[in-house]
Amino acid sequence: MKLSQEQAETFSTFTSTHAGQTLLNYLGQVAEQENRALIGARDNILRHQGRVQMVTHLLEIILDSTVAAKQYEQPKT
């Protein structure tokens, strides 16, 4: 986002005030909290993805074992 010269001067003037500094500090804290929440959500997704992969692998083993058992049980003609 590109600010006009007037917007940039207004922003600079506002942020030099106590209220402006307070607002910037608050926005920084909110951004940090949101970043931590996103990192936590990403970690949860990765953890669940790992569990899904493990369950998928176990199901493949069970399926392979079942198919092998069925083939072994069938009488050979």
Domain containing residue 53: 5-73
3-42 pLDDT per residue, tens: 899 999 999 999 999 999 999 999 999 999 999 999 999 9
CA distance 11 to 9: 5
CA distance 4 to 7: 5
pLDDT score recorded for residue 74: 72
Number of domains comprising the chain? 1
Question: Does the reported pTM lie above 0.75?
Answer: no
